[in-house]
């Protein structure tokens, strides 16, 4: 009697390195995993990036990016005639201790804020994610919100904010959630605002909540001001626009009527919209306690009725050049707005 095992689909198998699951599956994208599995299955074939892309419904660029991803992680190596499994380092002894690699994770040491973003290398990222499940879960949530797999550079940016700038995972998630709510959930904005938050020392959920509320108020203030003045925005408002609008409405608490009046005076004087000039007008009114058109008109009427004294020589004097008179003090006051 012959004995035979029907293996079915298991009759044809190929090996996948354990590190793919143990270290890299948390950060590898769908396309990166597809390309790796295809290469392992067809290791004895000579395929181009275009051919692999046609089979997997990926572009040649996506295929090459996936290959680069696995080369960066020392899983593959580039040789003259193609790819080959990367050789394991010979100089590193086997790890026999159960001590976590990043034992300082709890408590987390305060980081010194650096002026320029320094992204960690892929090996460091892989080790950190292997030890820190909370950070790995954050990356999964970032991918869900962005609705796309994270590239190695994207992953390094999030890890940089966490490890180099000291932003906790829940604070990074709050920042991303806010940016998503205003349609600005992209890695460039996440990095820029993340570094700003780190510079401000925002490290708790309460502090992050206060900052997002402030950012929301500034954005809404500019929305009201731009609509009031008929200013059509292209893209997101600038930092100066939001800061000035927030100051006019939320700090100085000017009415729509007063802001419109300052805008019209700016256009009449300068011939165009100038946010610094408008801010200078409103600042002068705020310092004088002028909060209404009625108060403004009374103050200006009283100033006009005030008898003019003869100017003295020196600063503030009036001098004549070829029949034209110039009020130096008035010129200096006006020039303060020209910035």
CA distance 9 to 7: 6
Judge whether 14-85 and 216-303 match in fold: yes
Written out in words, the top-level CATH class of the domain with range 14-85 is mainly alpha
pLDDT confidence tier of residue 197, bands split at 50, 70 and 90: very high
Cβ atoms of 171 and 203 closer than 8 Å: yes
Largest Cα–Cα distance of the chain, in whole Å? 129
Question: Per-domain residue ranges for the chain?
Answer: 14-85, 103-203, 216-303
pLDDT tens-digit profile of 54-96? 888 888 777 887 787 787 777 887 655 566 665 544 333 333 3
| pLDDT of the residue at 111 | 43
Domain 216-303 sits in CATH at 1.10.10
* The pairing of beta strand 82-85 with beta strand 76-79: antiparallel
pLDDT confidence tier of residue 253, bands split at 50, 70 and 90: very high
List, in order, residues 6 or more apart from 83 with CB less than 8 Å away: 39, 67, 76, 77
Reduced to 3 states, what is the DSSP secondary structure of residue 22? helix
Give the mean model confidence (pLDDT) for residues 192-210: 92
| pLDDT of the residue at 54 | 83
């Amino acid at each position: 009697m012959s004995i035979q095992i029907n293996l079915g689909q298991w009759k044809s198998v190929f090996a996948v390195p354990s590190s793919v699951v143990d270290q890299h599956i948390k950060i590898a994208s769908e396309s990166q995993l597809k390309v790796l599995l295809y290469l392992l299955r067809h290791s004895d074939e000579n395929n181009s990036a275009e051919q692999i892309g046609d089979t997997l419904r990926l572009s040649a660029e996506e295929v090459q990016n996936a290959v680069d991803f696995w080369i960066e992680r020392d899983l593959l190596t580039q040789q003259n005639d193609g790819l080959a499994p990367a050789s394991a380092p010979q100089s590193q002894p086997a790890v026999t201790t159960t001590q976590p690699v990043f034992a300082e994770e709890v408590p987390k040491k305060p980081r010194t804020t650096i002026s320029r973003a320094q992204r960690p290398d892929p090996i460091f990222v892989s080790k950190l994610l292997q030890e820190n499940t909370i950070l790995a879960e954050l990356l999964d949530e970032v991918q869900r919100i962005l609705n796309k797999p994270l590239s190695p550079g994207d992953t390094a940016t999030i890890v940089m904010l966490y490890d180099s700038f000291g932003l906790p995972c829940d604070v990074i998630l709050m920042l991303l959630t806010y940016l998503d709510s205003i349609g600005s959930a992209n890695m460039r904005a996440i990095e820029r605002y993340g570094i700003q938050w780190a510079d401000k020392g925002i490290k708790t959920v309460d502090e992050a909540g206060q900052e997002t509320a402030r950012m929301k108020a500034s954005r809404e203030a500019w929305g009201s001001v731009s609509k009031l003045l008929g200013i059509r925005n292209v893209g997101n408002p600038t930092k100066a626009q939001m800061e000035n609008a927030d100051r006019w409405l939320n700090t100085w608490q000017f009415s729509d009527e007063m802001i419109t009046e300052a805008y019209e005076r700016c256009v009449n004087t300068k011939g165009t919209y100038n946010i610094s000039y408008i801010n200078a007008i409103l600042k002068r009114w705020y310092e004088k306690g002028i909060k209404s058109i009625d108060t403004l008109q009374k103050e200006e009427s009283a100033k006009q009725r005030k008898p003019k004294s003869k100017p003295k020589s020196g600063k503030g004097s009036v001098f004549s050049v070829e029949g034209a008179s110039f009020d130096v003090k008035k010129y200096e006051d006006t020039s303060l707005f020209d910035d």
